[in-house]
Amino acid sequence: MKKSTVKKMLNLLLIFTLVFMNYSTILVKAESNEVVAEDLFISEYIEGSSYNKAIEIYNGTGDPVDLSNYELELYSNGATEASQSVQLSGTLEHNDVFVVAHSSADAEVLSQTDLESSAVANFNGDDAFVLKKNDSAMDVLGNIGTDSDYAKDITLVRDASVTQASSSYNEAEWSDYAKDTFAYLGSHTMDGAGGEDPPIDPGDPGEEYSIADARELSDGTAVTVEGIVTVNNNAISNGAQFSTYIQDETGGINLFAFEQGEIPDLAKGDRVRVSGELDSYNGLKEVIPTSIEVVESGQELPQAQSVTLADLQDSSVAESYEGELVQLTGFINDIPDSPAGGGYNVSLIDSDFNGTTLRVMENALDMSLVEEDRWYNVTAIVSQYNAYQLIPTEQADIQLADEQPEPPSAAGVYESTVESVVDGDTIHLETPVLGGTKVRFLNMDTAETYTAHNDDPARDEINANQKAFGEEAKAYMNELIQPGDEVLVKIGEEPTDDYGRLLAEIIRQEDGMNINLEMVREGLASTYFIAPFNEEVYPTYQNAVKEAKDAGLGIWNPEDPLLELPFEFRANDDQKGFLRYVGNSDTMEYVMPDNWADVPVEKRVFFASEEEAESYGYTFVGDDDGSTENLSVQLLSMNDLHGKIDQEYELDPDGDGTFSTYGKMDYTAAAIEAREQTNPNTLIVHAGDMIGGSSPVSGLLQDEPTVEIMEEIGFDVGTVGNHEFDEGTDELLRMVNGGEHPEGLGTDGYDGMNFPLLCANCVYKDSGNTVLPPHYVEEVDGEKIGFVGVITQEAAGMVMPAGIQDIEFTNATEAVNESVAELKAQGVKSIVLLSHIPGEQNGDTVTGQVADLANAVDDEVDVIYAAHNHFVNNGVVDNKLIVQASEYGKAFSDVDLEIDRTTGDIVKKEAEVVFVDQSKVTPDPAVAGILDKYANQIAPIMNEVIGYNATDLTGDYSNDGDHGLGNLIADGMNAQMDSDFAMMNGGGIRDDLLAGEVTWGDLYNIQPFGNTLMMFEIKGADLYPIIEAQLSSVYGPDYSISGFHYTWDPETSSVVDVTLPDGSPIDMDKTYTLTVNNYMGTSTGSKYAPIGELGENPVMGPSDLDATVDFVESLNSSEANPFEYGPEGRITEGTAEEDPPEVVVAPKDNNGTATVHTEDLEALGSGVRVVIDIQNDKKPRKLLLNKKQVDILKEKEVTLTVTNGEKYAEFIMQEFSGKVLKVSLHDSNGKGFKKH
């Protein structure tokens, strides 16, 4: 037990006076005129890092107290019964304290400890304490029965004005300090208690430092600093406290004392010399002054530095400005009605919704002269109260900006880090977003964890049930995201709720998981949509909750359900009843609040009033406006079949470890037909690439068998992909219109397609007319549905230029909008876009070209089919449903539409991608018959064995280096043309070659396009641009190669070197021959163009398939002696190393933090290595580079080496993510080093 040190005096004379006045009474009983407490109370709480946990109990009663009658209890995690307790013992003198701490706490804590207890002192920020006397609760810290982080990672000190214990926790009685603040432990001040120890002699005023150097020192260090006062202390001080800021040419710092006492008033422009002790409060660096000398007055203030609110979001940048005057522009969107704690906390944001708090003290300026919803130019001091904030100093510091742009929108996606999980739908963020750290999850609602307020015994079961499911949701949330996890915070147009919490979806950065949606999918949350809401994500959440409910997951478990949904529980618990009207998004009707259960959860939308519901187009359920029922239409679709009508695939589409067989069109046709039977209003459509790159059973017969199967299934309309143009425009039109192939290929009596093929952006160059119809209207039960077809413009670089030389692919968006305008003019309001344009989906988000198209086209388009990249998509962009169903007949999509018969518009849309598991389908006999007929026709060719393969050969593009299949094909091309080199594009390799017999049909499936070999003459030097053109910065190499090896640098996407297979270099001036296929040799796309541009004297050869067949036969393999191919190191990664020039930059001549002249950095050349030696004979120095200097080094692509002559740290500045760079080559003991 230690005596209390109450105050720190300001000058030596006052110290001596107090010593002689009070020292003789230190151990004497308190005099009768002193203020005394009735009993002991808790005076301090420490919840620090690791085991730094302590509780301090104070005796201000005026008499010694026997502790054997007292007990300290711990209530953990919202418990209503004590989890741990400890009996106190001994005698506690008046004005002394008793400290209970964890036995593994730091020595600084244990040095003040009276009782070590690893039980009761093992707590977190959500636990409560009770001090009992003779089994009666006297004093309470925290809220018993409530699990909330009211005191996490902080030190709490009871205010000096508190003189009595309290049986209920009052947050206002406590002051909070930063984590691991131990300075107040072991003593306590109570106003009027007397019996003070003599004040501590301030001793040596400390070494003189620049402010920047002083800021780098640890708290408790005695310093002397000099600077210009930037704010009158009486403008920002609160009550009897003293606070101001000073600034020199290196930085700024706060001066603070709890009582001004003898400290003189300071005014702007005073140059002062301050001696005192460094301290930190809620992150703000301070000097606690022991003496202040005004050296001179009327000095010019430091110039305010221009910053942005984005700068203040970066702690490293903001810290470099702390204590200094800055200028910036921001939007004030909210001013509190009254001050709190002596000032106003005013929200200041920018156009990107970076935000901070303007802390405007009452005496600094008149806030009634500042209007909300205006842009202002603000001059202020950068301060900190756990987060960085700005302190204006006078009225002139907040000036209305000349330009007043539109108010900023909060909607967007922000990066942050999880600090803690509060419950199943609330978390705290470590990094503020829009100035806030508490997030209420949007679109979902989990059971409550708080102790029920309505204690009616009839609700006991309901209350227990609610809390149990709430704890389960919280536990699962703790599995999904944990403190330190990086997340994306997705905020809509309304960023906060009435409680100031951020309303957001939380996306886990490591894998893109939408946490809100995951809670719904797992049945641990109900959906909860309150207008206004995001209509794009609405179907995704509602589909998820329906699936969870149908599966009986979590709160929907029929054997143990959640008895009251969270909103229902809250309404009954606070006994205010139901207040919101409830809409049915299916029927577009709403019901009275008490009739909410009439609307299924997956259709439920909440409105504040009837007027709001009707503004969204809802009508009251009792109203009968005579409207007819909506028309239900089903669209079934495929894409990217590629004539794989007979192929089968072993897949695990659900990722659950169960593989089944998918594909083969007799099965897919049967599944489509079965789904068609569920709705008489069904149309079957496709999004292109249904032919081309096909199986032999289709490809050898010009893909006419595929068209025959499509007609058997009953396709109604489709569009073209790039592969429909594989053999040119004329052949495509023959496929559409019918007629015999000019070379007699194909089937007998081919009569074309019996359904329209559309393309709005396929036009003839000479006339501008479309090659195919741009759009088509189908009437279903009296309602018109318009279809528009488009293809990606990139198709021009994916097919033989000679075959499409008379046509071009125009801008898809413009073509769509032109067709939509024509359809609308015909009265068509339900419009579907068939696009052979790719997209990809991550979680709920669809991105890529098709998403860009969705955002750009007329909003009358309701559904967009995607294709080309063989992905699965089922999402919404700009209220347009985007659907794509895999590839090769493995799956189809089912889109269900509802069309308002009054308006003719689509009012509802949802999709499902259906993978066709053969084990669950009986094949369609008609399609099976077509397959058998053509399989028999081509069997003699297909089944011819031409070799034997030892291992499975897989691969297409050479992204990860060369592979066996590509090497085999390229070697065959080289051998066929007797050339020096050969290259094969990865997109032309369409199947794998499995171990065992190699048939002609196997090789056809690998190279189905019928391309022709071309040989060019090139110079050795030409290989470099040809190779580099096919190197993707994202995916790496494309081509397989033969006759040479090369090394490439992934960082620069450039060739390092090219050699012959024996390692000898290519002769740059020698003429070599290079074989490619005619697709590569004639294409004008950037990847292929260098081949035709640099190659000379082209020579045509046989088909690429014939070359591969001949080469495999030449290997003379047998079942006993199969050929072997694999990776050979033909394509490798590497870097070309070159040492950059070295430049030494000398730091400024000072003994504190080492800094450099900005002009020295500006003079540097690009790409140099900079060496800064911070060696100092007097004492070790740190290096500090400010934001401007860091930006210069990044821009100049500098490699920075910092050394002290013995150790060094190296930084590649382009890779450095910070904005301010601090480097120390010593630890706190002046030893050791951490290499960067």
Which residues belong to the active site?
440, 448, 501
DSSP string, 906-944: EEEEEEEEEE-BGGG-PPPHHHHHHHHHHHHHHHHHHT-
Longest CA–CA span in the chain (Å) reads: 122
- Distance, in Å, from the CA atom of 210 to the CA atom of 223, rounded to the nearest integer, reads 10
In one letter, which amino acid is 273?
A: R
Phi, psi angle pair for 232, to nearest 5°:
-60, 130
Neighbours of 1174 (CB within 10 A): 21
Cβ contacts of residue 143 below 8 Å, gap of 6+? 128, 150, 169
The structure tokens listed for 290 are 């022991």
Place of tokens 């860009």: 852
- Distance, in Å, from the CA atom of 244 to the CA atom of 323, rounded to the nearest integer, reads 10
DSSP 3-state of 914: strand
Cβ contacts of residue 770 below 8 Å, gap of 6+? 759, 760, 762, 763, 764
- Distance, in Å, from the CA atom of 491 to the CA atom of 911, rounded to the nearest integer, reads 26
Burial classification of residue 195, based on how many CB atoms lie within 10 Å of its CB (0-12 exposed, 13-18 middle, 19 or more buried)? buried
The structure tokens listed for 895 are 């889109």
DSSP string, 309-355: HHHHHSHHHHHHHTTSEEEEEEEEEE--SS-BTTEEEEEEE-TT--E
Q: Contact, 990 vs 1006, CB < 8 A? A: yes
Rg (CA), the chain: 39
The structure tokens listed for 217 are 């020192």
Strand partners, 132: 71, 137
Q: Are strands 70-75 and 128-133 parallel, antiparallel or unpaired?
A: antiparallel
Between vectors from CA 841 to CA 840 and to CA 843, what angle results, nearest 5°? 165
* Alpha-helical runs (H) found in 677-793: 696-699, 704-713, 728-737
- Distance, in Å, from the CA atom of 19 to the CA atom of 200, rounded to the nearest integer, reads 10
DSSP class of residue 368 equals G
Query: Nearest to residue 390, comparing CAs of 380, 378, 377?
Result: 380
Q: Contact, 175 vs 282, CB < 8 A? A: no
The structure tokens listed for 470 are 């709430």
- Distance, in Å, from the CA atom of 52 to the CA atom of 118, rounded to the nearest integer, reads 11
Q: Are strands 1012-1019 and 1071-1077 parallel, antiparallel or unpaired?
A: antiparallel
Phi, psi angle pair for 344, to nearest 5°:
-105, 135
The structure tokens listed for 585 are 């998004």
DSSP 3-state of 863: strand
Q: Contact, 1180 vs 1202, CB < 8 A? A: no
DSSP 3-state of 907: strand
Within 13 Å, how many C-alpha atoms sit on residue 1183's CB side?
25
The DSSP element (H or E) to which 972 belongs, if any, is helix 964-977
